[in-house]
Chains A and B, each alone.
Chain A
């Protein structure tokens, strides 16, 4: 289990981390969310010892992370980076070997991952000759080649086509099923909702909400009210907050103890009720609530 414990980091006057804390468990996928500049990348860099926190620490299996631990972690930084003039296969093998694999294992694992990620036909191409999406796949292969026990991915879905998104989601789920602890950051909330079981939401360097996604939804004091009357979205006159989601659809957030019967009756008197739902909030609702937007 990876424990991020009360991290603080300042760069001059800029507060990057202000007590960030969360845990990532083996076999589970944690979606790490937050607005730009909230501290996601800094937190990930602390895990890999690339940034020294001013206070707080990160532990793995209960002890401070050692260099040997880090070699069993996989990392895909937000700033993607590969050697452009090196062939795909040679490059992934190189990273595998740097993580401590013997040449034979590194080659076998590289070939396996290139096949899984669907780029085995480009194995001998130079990275610079690949499309952006395929470079992203190589990047992922470099993070996965040594079968890490912990996978830290900074915006792994950015730049992937829908097929790539599917491949990556499936791959992550397979890895989690085999016991890998996974944390990834993303701006695509619906995607996080599909892929991850756990979430941590960071805002201004502080984790404002974290836990099992379903529990968080259930524990939320708001409910999502989605009513269609005469073919149009219907919003009750009193109470609630109207929000527009990522897909441009409007719905209403109301208190969990709102009088559902009265609302349904009001909707009925407004016209023909096509659909009516009163559900726990979506991840994007939780996110808005947590970061106060």
Chain B
């Protein structure tokens, strides 16, 4: 009987018993549905801007309604006009938010609290244009002359750097990917800690240890639960790709970017999960009851939380010093480096170096984790101090 076979048997048990549980299957289904639902919801909001709601009261400039619609159309918007008989009724609707702005007597614009520059622009342009047309009609110009006068000079706008039309979807997708990574690593890491305590609490650990080494239990657990995490990621990724293909922001489909981000999430999950799983297992081994687990589980969270905030910074600017540092600090790398990679900020050598550092961290934690795990496993009274757990193995 070799060690590997035993370890894989342990891993298989971890995977199978959990995969069969109703809670896991139901939550997996719910997660998939929620992700797929994101697609249509986002598309709905992204492609259907609300029309500008304008109230008109008092003297109305001739043809203002057509003027407003034409001006709004220039900035790909629509207007919705409401006419009021009295200023009081109009102001009441404005207060309630039924309209965004009032055009009073064709001479003043009223907002409820904050003025909107866009709305001011649309209304003033329309009013001015109407006034100009009226003036031109009085001057007796021909329609052709009038159109010529009315057509503004085309000013060409350009930027020095050609903006990547994919930049924004990339940021969105990268951040979504890292969010998933964060939640999955924490969730399955906690499963490892709970599984460890469970075996201690059930006392099953003593029969196991009469057959296998503590390090095999640890590795088997990490592999089995990690495989379960991969299954969940796979389902989420499939759902996300479906959702991304539905989303259509400014004509750019997230489909192709999605595939790239998903691949990154899988890769960094493997490294990040392994790193944290061994930490969680070692911590789980130091307590003997599930009730005591919350206390020690704070530690990985303390490590991990800053990475989440730095990841948000990274989305905005992947070249900030703290972001660069975070991408090389092993506990944070799995959250930060994928964003830098997705946004094209990391050089290949930087990615390679960060991977090497995480691998080194994993090796260190496997060693430390196994030792603490072994030392703490058979002690079942209360919480074992890390130091004692460490020492009892050395003896």
Spell out A's residues near B (CB within 8 Å): 45, 48-52, 67-68, 70-71, 73, 75-77, 79-86, 94-95, 97-100, 142-143
Contact = CB atoms under 8 A, between A and B. Distances in A.
B395 interface: yes
Interface stretch (B118-126, B139-147, B204-212): B204-212
Interface stretch (B6-14, B38-46, B91-99, B309-317): B6-14
**Which are the 9 A-B pairs with shortest beta-carbon distances?**
A81-B203, A100-B1, A81-B204, A79-B203, A77-B206, A75-B210, A48-B210, A98-B211, A81-B202
B2 to A, nearest CB: 9
Among A52, A79, A84, the one with the most B-chain Cβ atoms within 10 Å of its Cβ is A79
Nearest to A128: B202
A94 B207 contact: no
A84 B9 contact: no
Contact of A83 (B6, B202, B211, B378): B202
A48 B208 CA distance: 11
B112 interface: no
Main secondary structure of the interface of B (DSSP, over half): helix
A142 B212 CA distance: 14
B210 A70 contact: yes
A131 to B, nearest CB: 17
A94 B207 CA distance: 12
A79 B211 contact: no
Interface residues of B, number: 22
B75 interface: no
Given A71-B211, A75-B210, A77-B206, A50 B13 contact: no
A49 B205 CA distance: 13
Contacts of B213: 67
B154 interface: no
A81 B211 contact: no
A7 B200 CA distance: 27
A82 B204 contact: yes
B17 interface: yes
Contact of A50 (B10, B209, B380, B395): B209
A143 B210 CA distance: 10
Contact of A79 (B9, B206, B208): B206
Contacts of A76: 207
Contact of B207 (A67, A75, A100): A75
17 contacts: A45-B378, A50-B206, A50-B378, A51-B378, A71-B1, A79-B203, A79-B380, A81-B203, A81-B204, A81-B205, A83-B17, A83-B204, A86-B13, A86-B17, A98-B6, A98-B208, A98-B211
Contacts of B204: 81-83
B9 A94 contact: yes
B25 to A, nearest CB: 15
Given A85-B17, A97-B9, A73 B203 contact: no
A81 B395 contact: no
